[in-house]
Structure 1
Amino acid sequence: MRVLIVDDEPLARMRLAALVGQCEGAEVVGQAGDGEAALAAIGELSPDVLLLDINMPGLDGTALARRLGHRAGPQVVFCTAYENHAVTAFELGAVDYLLKPVRLDRLREALARAAQRREAAPKRAPGYLHARQRGEEVRIALDEVIALQAEDKYVAVLHRGGELLIEESLRQLEEAYPDQLIRLHRSCLVPQARLVGLKTLGDGRTLARLAGSELQPEVSRRNLPAVRRLLRMG
């Protein structure tokens, strides 16, 4: 089980990492000191579980859990020094709520629950895009896609491994994967799971922030309300 530790205190992250190392079948694949860094790490590392602190600067733990709540993603185990957020945590779908200092037996129990929930969750068939590269047919999982951008008669697929061209139009892709893609403007679609935030520029333009990428496509005024609704869901 791939574990991402999210806590603004380095010592707390170090202690949790040591505890995870004593849990059979679990490994720490990354650490983050705040919610924004966690969003980027989730897109890059695809963890199975978040060990998530609540009180952090900027995007705190509950806000991060809300942001993740409407999409398939890691199971959340809150690790905090405060008891008064437990009700909110479980309303957000958390697997468990551990009080600091976290005990090894409770951590093992929480990770076991996370594994059981992941196994019980309905499996969505992954979507694939098909392209040709140097005369050979290749397929790219939607989970690997960063953005889809219209270029003349083709669509450029920007993905973790580089860029490919496909012949399907953005409209065809949007209709084929309505629950997995969202339109930013007439020439750009992105996977919903990649969308982590918005950035407003001084000239009034709005850019999309995408997990696991420095690419920041512009969001048109026409599509901005739908993008905002997606970010508020959960």
Structure 2
Amino acid sequence: MLIVDDEPLARGRLAALLGACAGCTVVGSVDDGEAALEAMAALAPDLLLLDIEMPGLGGTALAARLADRGHPLVVFTTAYEHHAIAAFELGAVDYLLKPVRLERLREALRRAQARLDAAPAAPVVYLHARVRGERLRIPLNAVLWLLAEEKYVRVRHEGGEVLLEESLRQLEEAHPTLLRLHRNCLVPAARLIGLRSLPDGRVLARLAGTEFSPEVSRRNLPALRRLLRMG
């Protein structure tokens, strides 16, 4: 789950309470709605513990964006009772008043787990390629990296390499879990395990499952560092 709250003390308290809840894994902790959107793309949490009143993109606005998707689930955490009706209209699993009590948190988590258990399994996402006239499907979770080369995108996956006709931008827009390292390279968020700085100032990405270390552009470096800290 992902904790979203602009107050550091509130984030710390929730993390401590979740440590006393069996079966919970906190994948990250962020301080506003925009950061939550970035974290969701990279970390794919099942549940948000979401504050309502935050600077910038607030909790109800974020939940409204997620309402049509149905994922991740949302449990609101707030100091104010008057948001309750709006919260449940947005499909929230539960509504916890601060300071959050351990038993109420456990009850909210049980409700969230029941809803997750009742939901159909998420479909496998594929990239589609054509090799010698044969159409192939490559599971996105098997992809190691994608590089733009002239008119095609070269995709390295666990079973080899293929060429795609879509552009990197089209692939990035269609699959939010792909991270841009530089203008010619995307990688699945789950593959990014670290960054390595070179003496000449360049930064390389460390990827799970491959020794290939693509370079990270200065433009994309801050966002990648934030994602690694959240993870």
Please report the TM-score for the alignment, with normalisation by the length of structure 2.
0.63
Deviations 1:66-120 (A, max 9, x none): 1222225321000000111111111111100001111101100101111111111
- 1: CA distance between counterparts of 2:113 and 2:175? 21
* Aligned equivalent of 2:172: 190
When structure 1 is superposed on structure 2, of 70-79 and 30-39 the one drifting more is 70-79
Give the aligned partner of residue 34 of structure 1: 32
Match of 1:139 in 2: 138
2:100 to 81, 99, 102: 102
Other-structure match for 1:52: 50
SS of 2:10's equivalent in the other structure is helix
Pairs aligned (count): 176
SS in 1 for 2:42: helix
1:80 aligns with 2:78: yes
**Contact 2:143/2:155 (<8 A) preserved:** no
Match 1:21 to one of 19, 22, 36: 19
Separation in 1, partners of 2:58, 2:144:
27
User: Which TM-score applies when normalising by structure 1?
Assistant: 0.63
Q: Distance in 1 between matches of 2:61 and 2:142?
A: 23
CA gap of 1:193–1:105, structure 2 versus 1, over 3 A, is farther
Q: 1:157 to 1:80 in 2, by over 3 A?
A: farther
Give yes or no for contact 2:124–2:139 (8 Å, CA) kept in 1. no
> Contact 1:36/1:59 (CA < 8 Å) preserved in 2?
yes
What secondary structure, in the 3-state scheme, does the structure 2 residue paired with 1:78 have? strand
Structure 1: how far apart are the matches of 2:99 and 2:127?
46
The percent identity for this pair of structures is 57
Tell me the distance in 2 between the aligned counterparts of 1:76 and 1:40.
16
Q: Partner amino acid for 1:141?
A: L
Structure 1 residues 158 and 8: alpha-carbon distance in aligned structure 2, compared to 1, 3 A threshold = farther
Report the Cα distance in structure 1 between the residues aligned to 2:69 and 2:155, rounded to whole angstroms: 21
In structure 2, what residue type is equivalent to 1:89? A
Taking the aligned partners of 1:91 and 1:122, their CA distance within structure 2 comes to 22
Question: Which stretches in structure 2 are left out of the alignment for 5+ residues?
Answer: 131-135, 178-187, 193-218, 221-231
The alignment partner of 1:194 has SS state of coil
Residues 25 and 86 of structure 1: is their aligned pair in 2 closer, same or farther, counting only changes over 3 Å?
same
Letter paired with 1:169? E
Give the AA of the match of 2:42: E
Q: Is the 8 A contact 2:129 2:164 kept in 1?
A: no
Whole-angstrom CA distance in 2 between matches of 1:143 and 1:127? 10
- Following superposition, which runs of at least 4 residues in structure 1 exceed 3 angstroms of deviation? 137-140, 142-146, 148-153, 155-159, 164-170, 189-193, 211-215
Residues 158/16 of structure 1: CA separation in 2 closer, same or farther (3 Å cut): farther
Structure 1 residues 136-165: Cα deviation after superposition (integer angstroms, max 9, x where no partner): x9934279799x897545335599x9xx96
Instruction: Answer whether contact 2:78 2:96 (CA < 8 A) is retained.
Output: yes
- One-letter amino acid of the structure 2 residue matched with residue 41 of structure 1: A
